[in-house]
């Protein structure tokens, strides 16, 4: 029998933030860049599109007109998944249970320039965007009916993005979502056991090992998590423990903006394409509790596998058992570093 080597042999890895396991099968794909690579669409977007409902001055689908904005612009989603004034109620019938949910959904136009993505924006504009995220999180989280604020971006048509204009969303709601509850429980258990931050301890170990670090600066680190599911999944983690992004000091906010630009640029260069992904910031709920265990972080889940057009889908075993990947997180981190 050979000695177990996680870079060669099938194994499972634990996600310490959720308590869930995933399967790694490195023997199936020794060199992830081998295989067919097809050219991606190279169509260049215009800086302004008169048909885009997010461009400055244009009319949206509901008839409202955007102002001639020149920087980040935020408005309430015209087709929101959550509504602020819905009736409260509960349906319970044997094993059937449903509860009413209310909330506020906001759209954040990152830039007035239709052609840009986060990797192409100027650092000063990304700093403004981080400031907008902080202000929205604080303002929405102070509302008595809001107990959680989720900031996220879906980039690219494959991720369900209905408009190429650079934008993200914020969903603020009454309930605390499943993923956040799991991460709260795992972080709280570690704090109770050790008196320290779970992600702080994890980051210290990753920095010592170095093999999954993608990029770092004085205040934040980008890495491929040991338990990453998506082929080039990555996470931005602040070195100093902060429960939410409003606790960023000015220099830390600048460093966070710079790392978003750095990481998203690495994605674009990986397969020479505007890299699709879903990205989101996980931070403490806004229900009034302190949550001393929380260490905020931003995760990126991109679906591309071997080229700009070869994608990873969660199918079969992954839908019925648990997530699985062939490219190890270490291989992905090495490619992103380079």
Active centre residues (catalytic): 167
Q: Which residues contact 141 (CB under 8 A, 6 or more apart)?
A: 149, 172, 286
Strands of the sheet with 234-238, listed across from one edge: 73-76, 103-109, 167-173, 148-155, 277-282, 297-301, 234-238, 220-223, 213-216
Residue with tokens 């879906």: 154
What are the structure tokens assigned to 160, written together?
A: 């369900």
The whole-angstrom separation of Cα 230 and Cα 137 is 27
- First-to-last alpha carbon distance for the chain, in angstroms, is 35
Burial class of 88 by CB neighbour count within 10 A (0 to 12, 13 to 18, 19+): exposed
């Amino acid at each position: 029998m050979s000695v177990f080597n996680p870079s060669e042999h099938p194994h499972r890895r634990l996600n310490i933030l959720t308590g869930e396991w995933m399967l790694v099968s490195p023997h199936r794909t020794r060199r992830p860049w081998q295989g067919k690579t097809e050219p991606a669409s190279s169509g260049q977007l215009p800086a302004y599109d008169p048909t885009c409902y997010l461009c400055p001055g244009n009319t949206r689908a509901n008839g409202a007109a955007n102002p001639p904005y020149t920087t980040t612009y935020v408005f309430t989603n015209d087709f929101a998944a959550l509504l602020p004034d819905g009736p409260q109620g509960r349906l319970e019938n044997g094993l059937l249970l449903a509860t009413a949910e209310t909330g506020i959904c906001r759209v954040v136009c990152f830039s007035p320039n239709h052609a840009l993505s986060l990797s192409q924006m100027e650092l000063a504009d990304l700093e403004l965007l981080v400031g907008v995220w902080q202000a929205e999180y604080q303002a929405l989280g102070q509302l008595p009916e809001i107990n959680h604020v989720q900031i996220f971006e879906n980039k690219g048509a494959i991720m369900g993005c209905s408009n190429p204009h650079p934008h993200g969303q914020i969903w603020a709601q009454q309930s605390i979502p499943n993923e956040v509850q799991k991460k709260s429980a795992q972080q709280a258990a570690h704090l109770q056991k050790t008196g320290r931050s779970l992600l702080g301890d994890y980051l210290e170990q990753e920095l010592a090992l170095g093999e999954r670090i993608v990029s770092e600066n004085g205040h934040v680190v980008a890495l491929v998590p040991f338990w990453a599911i998506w082929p080039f999944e990555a996470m931005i983690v602040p070195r100093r423990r902060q429960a939410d992004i409003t606790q960023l000091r000015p220099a830390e906010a600048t460093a966070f903006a710079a790392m978003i630009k750095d990481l998203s640029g690495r994605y674009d260069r990986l397969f020479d394409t505007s890299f699709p992904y879903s990205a989101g910031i996980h931070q403490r709920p806004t229900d009034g509790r302190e949550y001393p265990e929380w260490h905020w972080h931003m995760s990126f889940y991109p679906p591309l596998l071997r080229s700009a057009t070869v994608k990873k889908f969660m199918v079969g075993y992954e839908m019925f058992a648990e997530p699985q990947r062939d490219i190890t997180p270490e291989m992905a981190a090495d490619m992103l570093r380079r």
